[in-house]
Structure 1
């Protein structure tokens, strides 16, 4: 898992800062009150930053799952892992795939993203399946090169793809259940919602629980930005900043507890924390 997180981190950092700059540009240039729902993409320049940042963010789950699979099955597992992450992101599942022959009803079918949880499970599945193919698919010695270049990626992708179509069903349900649970809290105590979201953001430093809280928080922005902003998103941002900032403070107050390299990374963490990048806390 840590392999996936570390490889995904540049996409999170680059995309996250670009998206933050989009909001900053719109804030500086001004957005009418009746268009605050478009904050971050109201002006053309801001929208450019938002699209570029969104493109980087869009690669987050495939890269994460791809390198989880890579850590298990090495290079042959990479493509299967990327496919697993992409399927998790798009929410493709049996019964949720649009196709033209079925008419308008089936053409409008859309899956529910299984998010980070689906990508995590998909990465492990992809790596394991490629290892199984590698072990049980035998070819003549003269074709060993073709096996690693052609057969393992092909069979790994086919198997992973169809398994993910099934896995996405319960994973999407779990993801939806988490969002519904948080949505239920939103109508009650703001303090309780803040405690839960802040804890979720900090508990796994950028993992599946963190991303579930982040997605929920961003989902509340459009509906609340015109009325003063989202309490949920404020809690998400505060909770997400805590781990990297806490590490920065710790390296200042307890220097003798850290190596020189760790103290240097503490300086990086203040930038990460203030930029709302929880993953900066990962060693």
Structure 2
């Protein structure tokens, strides 16, 4: 048997490559030839050739964001989450052995189906089992680089070129760093349009890009609907989904053959953009902007117990599934709040992100007799992954002993998050771990490291108290 596979996660860092490695090792152990293409943050690697796909007995698509599907037409295609390829690769391969994987087809045998319309009855949805989550993560994956670049440029400008004033650090207008700060601010302005545009692309492919980005731009600019503040990331998400589904609806209309050539280049983008603009300017924009203003006011006014509660919830979500959907919801909230000026939320998340792998790595060093040899080796890798803020380093431990490991890493992340929140740690980029302090993206660095050390210690102590020596 020969298989091919594609792995891709929203961030394109850890899950993408861990899934590829798991599939490769499991297939090798089963005597199956497999080639895995990764679509990570640096682009496509080990790309599948047309002849390799044609000669394969099946295709595994372990993806949490949209990918190009046409090349797999007519092949047995098994779609799943990236986490499934990491945690149960044997089950995925077994389905091919049992002959239970359906053929992928975008067109019924007799009547052609328009691109972007829902699949025919009985067909597998090419967008995966959860199209809403998949579309949202597709938008997030394209949005993150803009937030990272913008946040780092602003942080570096303030850190290297800022001068202390009564209002805090200010960059002089006649300096190079002032220009860099403005570039960083410009990068932030792309965040919501990019988010909305690629949510729409995930729903309906390229025809959704222009309407989605236009809708996202309108959502982010309150001047369109008489609001000082825009509708923010909530408005951008809504604009993306509205643009995507309106585009899908327009594409499904039976246009006369005479005007079909101009449908994709004129009627669809013009009609969808106009409808999305009208909805946001006259109906949705102002209420969502008011909601965002209320959210910002609430976050700014949080003190004491309310901050602790928010930190506990965020820390628990970050650790619970280590890069999965629950983790991504908390991460997206923190990333979006950076653009709103609430960087203390990402500060708490940044401390929580790295404590699961650091805690499990430390635990495996302190009590080696409680861990198998493979886990001891995984502990070394987890320490390295924790330093650069990759929560997924704890997955090998959680997969083998979830009832003890998951509560332990949640306790550690909650500890780190609370300490960071209460001490005013801030983070200007959507990432975590000591690495963000190295690039001067963190405010109150001493307490940031204190929070990380405390969370790491809690995780390692709790998990080693719960675990028993291996036989």
Is TM (by shorter chain) over 0.5? yes
Give the paired residue count.
240
Choose from 140, 158, 161 the match for 1:26: 161
Per the alignment, residue 55 of structure 1 pairs with: 186
Q: Distance in 1 between matches of 2:192 and 2:172?
A: 23
- Point out the more displaced range, 116-125 or 200-209: 200-209
1:170/1:75 CA distance change after superposition, 3 Å: same
Q: CA deviation at 1:179?
A: 1.8
Q: CA deviation at 1:117?
A: 0.6
Choose from 293, 306, 314 the match for 1:192: 306
Per the alignment, residue 349 of structure 2 pairs with: 240
Larger Rg: 2
Per the alignment, residue 147 of structure 2 pairs with: 12
1:117 matched to 2:220: no
- Point out the more displaced range, 206-215 or 47-56: 206-215
Alpha-carbon deviations, 1:179-235, whole Å to 9, x = none?
2222433xxx345336536855966243246524762535xxxxxxxxxxxxxx4xx
Q: Distance in 1 between matches of 2:261 and 2:280?
A: 28
Per the alignment, residue 90 of structure 1 pairs with: 221
Q: CA deviation at 1:240?
A: 2.9
3-state SS of the aligned residue for 1:69? helix
Answer whether contact 2:338 2:346 (CA < 8 A) is retained. no
Per the alignment, residue 279 of structure 2 pairs with: 163
Query: Which structure shows the higher strand fraction?
Result: 2
Answer whether contact 1:67 1:81 (CA < 8 A) is retained. yes
Alpha-carbon deviations, 1:10-56, whole Å to 9, x = none?
111111111111111125xxx2434x445245661221111111111
Per the alignment, residue 342 of structure 2 pairs with: 217
Q: CA deviation at 1:243?
A: 4.5
Q: Distance in 2 between matches of 1:146 and 1:50?
A: 42
Answer whether contact 2:346 2:430 (CA < 8 A) is retained. no
Choose from 250, 266, 270 the match for 2:388: 270
1:168/1:3 CA distance change after superposition, 3 Å: same
Return the TM-score normalized by structure 1.
0.70
Residue ranges of structure 2 left out of the alignment (5+ in a row): 1-135, 319-326, 365-372, 392-425, 434-471
1:182/1:23 CA distance change after superposition, 3 Å: same
Q: Distance in 1 between matches of 2:187 and 2:374?
A: 38
